[in-house]
Structure 1
Amino acid sequence: MDRVDGARKTAGAAGYPSDVQLPGQTHAALVQSTVAAGRIRTLETAAAEASPGVLTVMTHRNAPRLPDGPMTALGASPPAPLRDDRILHHGQHIALVVAETPEQAAAAARLVRVTYDTSDPVLGLDDPRAERMDNPWGMDADRGDPAEAVRTAEAKVSGTWTTPDNTNNPLGLFATVAVWERDALTVHDSTQWPTMGRVTLAKVFDVPESAVRVLAPYVGGAFGAGLRVWPHVILAALAARVLRRPVKLVLTRAQMFTSVGHRPSTVQHLTVASTGTGELVALDHRCTSGVAMEDDDFEPCAATSALAYACPNVITRDVQLRLNIPDPTSMRAPAVGQGNFALESALDELAHSLSTDPLELRLRNYAAEHPGNGLPWSSNALRECYEAGAERFGWSRRDPEPRSMRDGDELVGYGMAGVSYPWYAQPCKARATVNSDGSAFVRSAATDIGTGTYTVMTQVSADTLGIPPGRVRFDLGDSDMPQSPQAGGSGLTGALATAVRDACRGVLGRILDLVRDDSESPLRGCTIGDVTVGGGRMHLRGRPAEGESYADILARHGQVEVTADGASTPADAAELGMAPAGAFGAKFVEVRVDADLGVIRVPRVVSAIDGGQILNEKTARSQIIGGTVGGIGQALFEETVTDAGTGRIANATFGDYLVPVNADVTQMDVLFVGDPDRATPLGTKGVGEIGLVGIAAAVANAVHHATGTRVRSLPVTLDQLL
């Protein structure tokens, strides 16, 4: 089924936060710190305040001190803005200028003059001054005796792998429009989580949650950047309350690099050890990553290594170092994207040292049950992913010797990686209505960041109600709708689809309640188990002629509509007697490397994915392709460069921060394998992030196969190969 929102988007009829225009609307511009550490010595705003159209200039001197937002399912809220004169990172918001037009606000912001008492910033993971923060979520693993197993192992690989900061960089600039009506706040925002936005803003501004409404029917991409209520959102709402007028704030591209998070850099020390025939006996994965000075975002990059393979002796450790950097955040496949690169690269090295096929090594160590708790998986088709992906890719044609495959001036390399993405779920609610004309309206406070939520939930609603999809309207992106978790963690489809189905089945039950004692209805006295739905009507199971339409039932009983609420709750492993499984996959990559210049191309990628029940193959395939493109970016292009002396991000433009373009993305082959998952009522898993995981490792492994050069740091660049 095509995207139901596709026509609106291509026609320009989809309203993004940056499109919002309200009567009396004003415009805000940020003033940001030009140093990374220290204090503000002087802050001169008179020239800005006297500039044409300026309504206010807010700084730490005149802004009310606001509390931090609440703890969320993804961790603590970022610190509140404009608290004092301290500078914690380059690009920190130190003033907000509000004027009648965006041009006036931007011009006035440039007139604000600031001097600083600076201190030496802590910017690198190798800086001994950095404060260490141990794993706060209890996700470190300890299994068996890894040290002894490594000591006695017949084969082992040890090394250090590094990944840089990456910046989410959705195409749509993040925007916030805030307006107060008395003590009620409405915010149009680029968010992946309207429900959390409502909770956070209510706490920060000390108003009831019912007085806050967050709207995000369309978001111009996010990749995790929209999972937190950022300081600029708070500032827009604060300015709107002070001025009693709507305030619109649109970030610039450079501000996107400092204001809405990034994938944090890592240094990962990893040892894998095995028998002489390749059975893993020990895995020791220790990761250090960066976090901001007063933020508590956490990325356990080593944690998933404990669950990726059958290995009796495992230790993982994740620590963070506090740096003078902007707040990190989740970026597509958070933590797993970085950790998988190190693990799957190390396994490739181990296979090479053993003269074993990398695919065979992974098959040999397939975890038939959950390595942590010993429970059977709710589903796991990783073995089938390996086999089907290898067949589609033509892995058997690979000559195992590095630099052995060539096409003219290009060295040809084949690489692969195994992939898992952990199961995640949160409670969710939905509401469904069948109208007197036989149409349906279903809604929940979720968001669609391009993943296809509008479309898939329309399908689930239509299928459950037996109403043609064209007669079903599914709405989202409004915190006044029933509570929904974030669009992130690859968990929204399972949670929301289950809640939507529950709501729709509730409507069917209420319609049957109407005809329970209706002598005119052929459905009199029936339960849901007695009937089948289709074509906007309900009929006796196996007897399609004995039924009637929803419109007729509602008309006869004088009802304008029938509404019911639905909900879903996460599965419990103990109750299930099995381990809820996330998605699994295998990635196969071909690279071509210019033998003289070191230029790398990726002409072909095969992704074999176990995503459980695929509700819409078109949108699911699109998600895997999009994730693959992001993985190519992580592997070959993306690196947010921070100047070592000043803490300034040196490449905060699309001219300097490189992402894959059409010429970098050629043949993308996606195949889905496996059965519906037993842990969710609809059998889904979620595929939003599994597409990215493993691509970086597969590319690096293919580069080694092509050139004989082993690269342990991302991105893999041509200078490393010359």
Structure 2
Amino acid sequence: MVGEGLVRVEAPLKVTGRARYFNDVDVPGMVHAVVVRSTVAAGRVTRLDTARAGAASGVLAVLTHRNMPRLAAGPMTIIGASPPVPLRDDRVLYHGQPVAVVVAASAEEARYAASLVEVGYAPAEPVLHVDDPRAELIDDPWGLDHVRGDVEAGFAAADVVVEGRFTTADNTNNPLGPMGTVAYWNGEALTVHDATQWPHNVRSTLAAVFGVPEAGVRVLAPFVGGGFGAGLRVWPHVLLAAAAAREVGLPVKLVLSRPEMFSSVGHRPDSVQWIRIGARGDGVLTAISHESVSSLGMEDEDFEPVSRCSAGAYACGSVRTRDRQARLHIPGPGSMRAPAEAQGNWALESAIDELAYGLGMDPLEVRLRNLAEVDPVSGMPWSSNALRECYAEGARRFGWARRSPEPGSMRDGRRFVGYGLAAVSYPGYQVACQARASVGRDGSAFVRSAATDIGTGTYTVMTQLAAGLLGLDPGRVRFDLGDSDMPYAPQAGGSGLTGALGNAVHSACLRLVQEFCDLVRDDPASPLCGAGPGEVAVGGGRIHLVADPSRGEAFGEILVRHDLVELAADGRSVPPDSGELGMACAGAFGAKFVEVRVDPELGLLRVVRVVSVIDGGRILNAETAASQIVGGTVGGIGQAMLEETVTDPTGRIANATFGDYLIAVNADVPDVDVVFVGGPDRATATGTKGVGEVGLVGIAAAVGNAVFHATGRRIRDLPITIDRLL
């Protein structure tokens, strides 16, 4: 079953409307909450008049920093610190910060009452841009800055040096469904339905913030919809819903509006990057220097090592990367699909392209001459790396050899034609995960883990994997997720869930087969009696001897004879250890080829072809994996040409609607040719490497490089808009 393009198992539920998202939850007695948000970006709240709101029809409570129960700080997580808790004091740190929450019998009554809350401020001048000299600069808090070799000597030895200042815009995740939470208490026990990408993180955070045992908190997220990273952190609205529910003693639903999504659930931080690259005349790199400053909330601790991608992308002996953050009066940022790499790759791959033109060489040839055959950071061999194959297959399918090298030399009527290329080496990421598998008397399997499926195909891929490992038809396997009472799972993010969860499911299913073997090994009534672990196999819902497949029996028969209703086993996975393995645990690799058309009179840019060749290790489901690459490509086109969250001089987000924030739609996206190359990765049991992020990374640089080839104009600022092309 593994590798086949099995249709999504949850598709019937979704297309018939039976899939229950958090917004479909309707608990008896449920009331509604609406957040009142600050209209200044910096200063203090000097007046809060809630009398009219409290007297409005249906209102049950109005919470502010004056009457809000004191909440403890959220915990440190494997992806960083929790966001600051809301309604702590009278300080205002960003436009849109919660200053009150109104609870009423209906959503309409809550919205109306929220409009009656009167707030006065003592405003301060906000710091809004990373290049503002007033901004506090913070050096790399995770110790990821990298130096190897003698960088200055490397530049001195170079025949050609290119350097430039590159910027990326603030992007907002914007899943189609607005996020929110339903929360209700039963004594000290709390149940939450949430649009989260990580149920266990919500559970541990709520337990810490409210001072209750984790065992008494249950988080449910069987269907999330899109997230793109917005659901990775526990944002203030989740805490406010739970606090309001405790205050009024009733279930509370809090749903964010679209404008609130822009200031409430994170965003890709904007960045300014300085990059310098040197090479000998034969194209061999001698030095890379890459520095960045990215934006950060005034009291947040999120971190994205933007320049880090340059440390391991190419075989270069002298490399320096440095990342800093500027504290600003902005909503807290967070991970957005391909965090850090999406920004850093734009600068790196644009500069590599510029270097190739400076050398008078084919941009593909420059990349091939500097391909990292071993991990440049550790010096160890890769657990897998098919980047060379990505280049070769991509160039063949795209027709790179037909490219006329001279910028501006290719035309389609009055429009300029450009070919662009970018390379991707997305870092590997896996953390610990657990799963449980069981088989009942009817021969069907039930496999579960507290993961989420944000459209990546987790339900389907894990059903496939379990079916193959247990020798069952996929229709006989039920895979469940999205419940914090299930075995621990990490976040659906960082391209790490499929590997971590897949390895845990692999472990659980193999242990379950072993449990059945142990059960019948000394059973004279079983045709498998006396068989050792290496002598049996599974298939057709039964265990049989490898040497004689006719000798075997069904799972259900074994359970009935031993008077068992079911048999279960737990499995777990741990992160692969490069030191123990003696090789660098590789993430996905890829090569992106893009063709554009540019109208020189109107400044109109169109992407007309994309070829994306990916080394994702073993592909567990070709259909869902290809869908991830296509979806990432759409996001990459948005980053390249359209998406920019605009903050006005007051700190207000000026385009916080789908009418004003431009997102790639069908007319902006051509057919995307997706190809997978390479084989199973040696670092893990399933051999897979996540592909959720690698589809987006490199698209912006490939588009920018194609624009240069078409027009001779090097664009260094994203997005590439009409005004930057004219």
For normalisation by structure 1, the TM-score amounts to 0.99
Asked if 1:327 corresponds to 2:310, the answer is no
- Return the match for 2:692 from 685, 688, 699: 688
> Deviation of residue 373 (structure 1)?
1.0
- Return the match for 1:710 from 700, 711, 714: 714
Asked if 1:568 corresponds to 2:573, the answer is yes
Instruction: Tell me what 1:720 maps to.
Output: 724
Instruction: Judge conservation of contact 1:31–1:93 (CA < 8 Å) in 2.
Output: yes
Q: Counterpart amino acid of 1:624?
A: I
- 1:507 and 1:277 map into 2 onto residues whose CA distance is 57
Q: Deviations over 1:334-373 (max 9, x none)?
A: 0000000000000000001111000000000000000011
> Deviation of residue 151 (structure 1)?
2.7
Instruction: Tell me what 1:619 maps to.
Output: 624
Instruction: Tell me what 1:393 maps to.
Output: 398
- Return the match for 1:100 from 93, 98, 105: 105
Asked if 1:501 corresponds to 2:495, the answer is no
> Deviation of residue 174 (structure 1)?
0.2
- Return the match for 1:47 from 38, 41, 52: 52
Q: How does 1:587-598 map to 2 (within 5 A)?
A: 587-598=592-603
Instruction: Tell me what 1:85 maps to.
Output: 90
Asked if 1:364 corresponds to 2:372, the answer is no
Asked if 1:658 corresponds to 2:662, the answer is yes
**Is the partner of 2:549 in helix, strand or coil?**
strand
Q: Deviations over 1:480-506 (max 9, x none)?
A: 000001000101111101111111111
**Is the partner of 1:312 in helix, strand or coil?**
coil
Instruction: Judge conservation of contact 2:535–2:547 (CA < 8 Å) in 1.
Output: no
Q: How does 1:133-148 map to 2 (within 5 A)?
A: 133-148=138-153
Q: Deviations over 1:150-201 (max 9, x none)?
A: 1331101011000010000001110100010111000000100001111111
**Is the partner of 1:544 in helix, strand or coil?**
coil
- 2:329 and 2:547 map into 1 onto residues whose CA distance is 68
Q: Deviations over 1:575-617 (max 9, x none)?
A: 0000000000000000011121110111110000000000000
Instruction: Judge conservation of contact 2:157–2:286 (CA < 8 Å) in 1.
Output: no
Instruction: Tell me what 2:475 maps to.
Output: 470
- 1:717 and 1:708 map into 2 onto residues whose CA distance is 16
Instruction: Judge conservation of contact 2:644–2:719 (CA < 8 Å) in 1.
Output: yes
Asked if 1:697 corresponds to 2:701, the answer is yes
- 1:40 and 1:520 map into 2 onto residues whose CA distance is 78
**Is the partner of 2:307 in helix, strand or coil?**
coil
Instruction: Judge conservation of contact 2:184–2:252 (CA < 8 Å) in 1.
Output: yes
- 2:572 and 2:225 map into 1 onto residues whose CA distance is 28
- 2:577 and 2:668 map into 1 onto residues whose CA distance is 43
Instruction: Tell me what 2:673 maps to.
Output: 669
The alignment of Structure 1 onto Structure 2 pairs a total of residues equal to 721
Instruction: Judge conservation of contact 2:506–2:685 (CA < 8 Å) in 1.
Output: no
> Deviation of residue 721 (structure 1)?
1.4
Instruction: Tell me what 1:544 maps to.
Output: 549
- 2:38 and 2:156 map into 1 onto residues whose CA distance is 51
> Deviation of residue 520 (structure 1)?
1.1
- 2:157 and 2:313 map into 1 onto residues whose CA distance is 22
- 1:35 and 1:525 map into 2 onto residues whose CA distance is 76
Instruction: Tell me what 1:534 maps to.
Output: 539
Q: Deviations over 1:444-471 (max 9, x none)?
A: 0000000000000001110111111001
Asked if 1:649 corresponds to 2:653, the answer is yes
> Deviation of residue 523 (structure 1)?
0.6
- 1:390 and 1:458 map into 2 onto residues whose CA distance is 35
Asked if 1:124 corresponds to 2:143, the answer is no
**Is the partner of 2:551 in helix, strand or coil?**
strand
Instruction: Tell me what 1:64 maps to.
Output: 69
- 2:12 and 2:442 map into 1 onto residues whose CA distance is 24
Q: Deviations over 1:626-655 (max 9, x none)?
A: 000000000000000000x20000000000
**Is the partner of 1:589 in helix, strand or coil?**
strand
Instruction: Judge conservation of contact 2:382–2:584 (CA < 8 Å) in 1.
Output: yes
**Is the partner of 2:47 in helix, strand or coil?**
strand
- Return the match for 2:415 from 410, 420, 424: 410
Asked if 1:109 corresponds to 2:125, the answer is no
> Deviation of residue 528 (structure 1)?
2.7
Q: Deviations over 1:60-105 (max 9, x none)?
A: 0000121111000000000111000000000001110010110110
- Return the match for 1:516 from 521, 530, 537: 521
Instruction: Judge conservation of contact 1:421–1:582 (CA < 8 Å) in 2.
Output: yes
- 1:156 and 1:547 map into 2 onto residues whose CA distance is 69
- 2:70 and 2:323 map into 1 onto residues whose CA distance is 34
- 2:415 and 2:110 map into 1 onto residues whose CA distance is 53
**Is the partner of 1:545 in helix, strand or coil?**
coil
Instruction: Tell me what 2:3 maps to.
Output: none
For normalisation by structure 2, the TM-score amounts to 0.99
> Deviation of residue 542 (structure 1)?
3.1
Instruction: Tell me what 2:227 maps to.
Output: 222
> Deviation of residue 257 (structure 1)?
0.2
- 1:57 and 1:571 map into 2 onto residues whose CA distance is 49
- 1:449 and 1:633 map into 2 onto residues whose CA distance is 20
Instruction: Tell me what 1:190 maps to.
Output: 195
Instruction: Judge conservation of contact 2:681–2:689 (CA < 8 Å) in 1.
Output: yes
- Return the match for 2:611 from 598, 606, 613: 606
**Is the partner of 1:302 in helix, strand or coil?**
helix
Q: Counterpart amino acid of 2:32?
A: H
Instruction: Judge conservation of contact 1:378–1:579 (CA < 8 Å) in 2.
Output: yes
Q: How does 1:187-266 map to 2 (within 5 A)?
A: 187-266=192-271
Instruction: Tell me what 1:630 maps to.
Output: 635
Structure 2: gaps of 5 or more residues: 1-5
Instruction: Tell me what 1:298 maps to.
Output: 303
> Deviation of residue 526 (structure 1)?
2.1
Instruction: Tell me what 1:313 maps to.
Output: 318
Asked if 1:341 corresponds to 2:346, the answer is yes
Instruction: Judge conservation of contact 1:508–1:528 (CA < 8 Å) in 2.
Output: no
Structure 1: gaps of 5 or more residues: none
Instruction: Judge conservation of contact 2:593–2:612 (CA < 8 Å) in 1.
Output: yes
Q: Deviations over 1:283-336 (max 9, x none)?
A: 000000010000000000001211000000000000001000000000000000
- 1:526 and 1:420 map into 2 onto residues whose CA distance is 46
- 2:198 and 2:636 map into 1 onto residues whose CA distance is 24
Instruction: Tell me what 2:425 maps to.
Output: 420
Instruction: Judge conservation of contact 1:412–1:593 (CA < 8 Å) in 2.
Output: yes
**Is the partner of 2:484 in helix, strand or coil?**
coil
> Deviation of residue 556 (structure 1)?
1.0
Instruction: Judge conservation of contact 1:173–1:220 (CA < 8 Å) in 2.
Output: no
Q: Deviations over 1:212-243 (max 9, x none)?
A: 00110001200001110001100000111111
Q: CA RMSD, aligned part only? A: 0.7
> Deviation of residue 148 (structure 1)?
2.1
Instruction: Tell me what 1:376 maps to.
Output: 381
- Return the match for 2:176 from 166, 171, 178: 171
Q: Counterpart amino acid of 1:448?
A: D
**Is the partner of 2:155 in helix, strand or coil?**
helix
> Deviation of residue 409 (structure 1)?
2.1
Q: Counterpart amino acid of 1:127?
A: D
Instruction: Tell me what 2:285 maps to.
Output: 280
